[in-house]
Amino acid sequence: MLFWDDLKVGETCDLGTAQVTREEVIAFAERYDPQPFHLDDNAAAMTHFGKISASGWHTCAMVMRVIVDSFTERQLVSVGSPGVDNLRWLKPVFPGDTLAVTSETLELTPSRSKPGLGSARSRIEAVNQDGVKVLSMETILLVLKRTSAD
């Protein structure tokens, strides 16, 4: 298991990849972000996107899935998050793209009120198959300390 005590500032990690499919882009948009450029080829062609693009919120959801799968694989003892800072959708994400997600640990802070917890601030970035950065955000993760497992 990977605890807060095991994390290191400056550490980087390749978290995994997500495939972007047209069917998922449209299904997500229909349910959560039904703007025409996420749903319709003709409407999208009239925008700066030029073609159907994924909702930024869909991009976040795909990145979140990669993050959680990585936590599971690495057995990181995460107990939630108080939020995200500095979220930026830098370039559009299109069906057919493959997103590679990385993290860099920026800061580790022990909890003052809960001695068995610490927080980890990380920069999360996603790039497409051409190496173009499409998303950047800072996450704050609550992680159990090793001492809390004793």
Q: What's the pTM value of the predicted model, to 2 decimals?
A: 0.93
| Polymer length of the chain | 150
Domain boundaries, the chain: 4-149
Residues 6+ apart with CB under 8 A from 14: 100, 101, 102
Domain 4-149 in CATH 3.10.129.10? The answer is yes
Residue with the two structure tokens 């979220």? 87
Identity of the residue numbered 120: A
Q: What is the mean pLDDT of each run of 10 residues along the chain (150 residues)?
A: 96 98 98 97 96 98 97 93 97 98 98 94 98 98 81
